[in-house]
Structure 1
Amino acid sequence: MIYLFDAEAWLWDARQGDSWVFVSLPEEASVEIREVAGALPRGFGSVRVTVTLGATVWKTSIFPDAKAGVYVLPLKKAVRKAEGVEAGDTVTVKVELDL
């Protein structure tokens, strides 16, 4: 399953000093992912993915955000630096589930 979407990068308010930046997956995609991956027990409900942002491709995990009801994708500092992304920027992201 592959999802391509635009999202605003946001700073996680619980760890602002550490500069944890995320994007939220669309609600429709999150529902579909939950249906497919929900039966796979992983830490914190995470799902393994391959992500493409600009010219950068990396493997990571997405995590459920119970408050927002969607999955969130952390944007590593190295990726943000390579792609010139800061919190508040809108980015185009491709997320492929690694089930």
Structure 2
Amino acid sequence: GPALTLAGEPLPEPPASWGTATLGVPVIDNYWQTESGWPIMALARALDDRPSRLGSPGVPRYGYNVQLLNAVTGEPCGIIEKGRLVSAGALPPGCNQTIW
């Protein structure tokens, strides 16, 4: 069905809830950078039927090994813990390998 997909800055829960209630469709966030060429984390509604979770950009997309690590210890974060998003391993096709 229809949905509103947003990109850019992280989408916190309050505006996502407001958008869903006001528009009557799911409001879906995703995470990517210009240099990545495509979303790093997103929900692909045409490929899977996972429900969107307010405040979450979705799941890692193809080619990315994404982990959320504690900024101080470098250990994996627990549920609802904030941390640093890192991508391990080689970058998938389409990503900038260098800037200049």
TM-score under structure 1 length normalisation = 0.35
> Which structure has the highest strand share of the two?
1
TM-score under structure 2 length normalisation = 0.35
Pick the structure with greater CA Rg.
2
> Which structure has the highest helix share of the two?
1
